[in-house]
Amino acid sequence: MSSIFLSRVLRGRAARLKSINAARPTLPKTLPARSYTSSSPTNASEGSSRPPRPIEDSTSALDYKSAHRRARPPPLPKTDQPRLRSAEEAVTNILYNTPPPSTEPFKKHILNCLVQNEPGVLSRVSGILAARGFNIDSLVVCKTEISDLSRMCIVLSGQDGVVEQARRQLEDLVPVWAVLDYTETRTINRELLLVKVSTLGPEYLEDQLVGGPSHDPRAHGSALYPPESAIWEGSEGEIPHHHNAKMEREISMATSFEQSGKSTHYPSPPAPPPLSHDGQQEVNIPPALTPHQLLTLKSTNLQALTTLASHFGAKVVDISENSVIIELSAKSDRIDAFLGLVKGWGILESARTGVMVMARTPIASLESEEEAVAVGGPIDASLLPPG
């Protein structure tokens, strides 16, 4: 079989050589045909001019693909219901398919809600935020110049994705017109503070908190300076026997309780003042302030508070006998700093309104106008319509 195939190839090459020689008339001499030594059947068929039989190979991708088609896989078995999984497989599937928890940081968000001016809107908005676990840091609600429109400013802390879901859920409420997130917007935020500070100093703060704003530090009937007659005494200047025994039992019980829960690394508290020979407790009462000393004390503290308020842009709106009320409108961090400084004098009362926010109006600068002209380029007058 191989000899027949080889003979056919050789005959084809000889025929091609003859045709090439016949196409060269200018050659002086015709090249003789090469003689091949082969078997007798090959020599007998030299005069045949048929082309050789094509060789079957994989040079043609299309023919190869058509000749070697892939067999389809067997069909899957048909079942009426899927295989029942075990509890271990179900738990493993849930654990591996559960996404990891979000690693976004918690930051402060400022939401501005435009709502309908009607009863019950505040409770519905706060209910949605409470259901999602948000702690509202600040909430300011007030009607606007439009009679049917109210503005609500909410400050809370949370992740961006969770806050965005809450914002969309708030917008779905019927009485809510829109909810704006001013977290990444350039805004003006202000908060109002009213704080009542003592002008007597921290030494008399406890007395003012107990005795009220009209406390007089020159009197000895306060919690800090008890009167001399405020002592335990009986009918004849002696403590009754049953009162004395009861007090001793209470003192022993309190001492044993403190000793049992007390650490050895901390010093013991000072002992109570001793009792006199007649059973009365000795009380060291400081001398009362003179009017001049009281006036000097008030004047010094008031001047210091006024100077501090002027540095923060605050103002004193009320001056009483022993306290002042200061008003400050500023950012939240500035208000926190002011409260930390006036705490040394003694804060009697304080009230804050919460954060109010309004977005800044953008102003086009000269650089932005030049960039817009450079990007747009000059206008070609030929491209304009006629007229």
pLDDT of residue 207: 76
- Of the chain, the percentage scoring pLDDT greater than 90 comes to 19
For residue 315, how many other CB atoms are within 10 A of its CB? 13
| Mean local confidence (pLDDT), 284-294 | 73
Residue 201: pLDDT above 80? yes
Fold of 107-185: Alpha-Beta Plaits (3.30.70)
Q: Where do the CATH 3.30.70.260 domains begin and end in the chain? A: 107-185
Residue 22: pLDDT above 50? yes
The C-alpha atoms of residue 182 and residue 94 are separated, in whole angstroms, by: 38
Which segment of 44-58, 94-108, 330-344 scores lowest on mean pLDDT? 44-58
| Mean local confidence (pLDDT), 53-64 | 52
pLDDT, averaged across the chain? 74
Residue 48: pLDDT above 60? no
pLDDT of residue 35: 46
Residue 346: pLDDT above 70? yes
Q: What are residue 181's phi and psi, to 5 degrees? A: -105, 110
Highest mean pLDDT among 59-73, 115-129, 231-245: 115-129
Give the 3-state secondary structure of residue 280: coil
| Mean local confidence (pLDDT), 169-196 | 90
Q: Where do the CATH 3.30.70.1150 domains begin and end in the chain? A: 192-216+288-358
pLDDT of residue 44: 47
Angstrom CA distances, 28 to 17, 19, 20, 21, 23, stand at 17, 16, 14, 11, 13
pLDDT of residue 152: 92
* Greater model confidence, 315 or 232: 315
Per-residue pLDDT reduced to its tens digit, 61-101: 556 556 766 677 777 767 667 778 888 888 888 888 887 77
79-94: burial string, b at 16+ Cβ within 10 Å, e else: eeeeeeeeeeeeeeee
Angstrom CA distances, 342 to 195, 216, 255, 299, 307, stand at 9, 22, 38, 16, 11
Q: What is the DSSP string of 147-183?
A: TTEEEEEEEEEE-HHHHHHHHHHHHTSTTEEEEEE-T
> If you search the block for the tokens 């067997």, which residue do you land on?
74
pTM score above 0.75: no
pLDDT of residue 224: 44
Per-residue pLDDT reduced to its tens digit, 237-267: 454 555 566 667 777 776 766 666 554 444 5
Rg of the chain's alpha carbons, rounded to an integer? 50
Q: What share of the chain is helix, strand, coil (3-state, %, to 5)?
A: 35, 20, 45
The architecture (CATH level 2) of 192-216+288-358 comes to 2-Layer Sandwich (3.30)
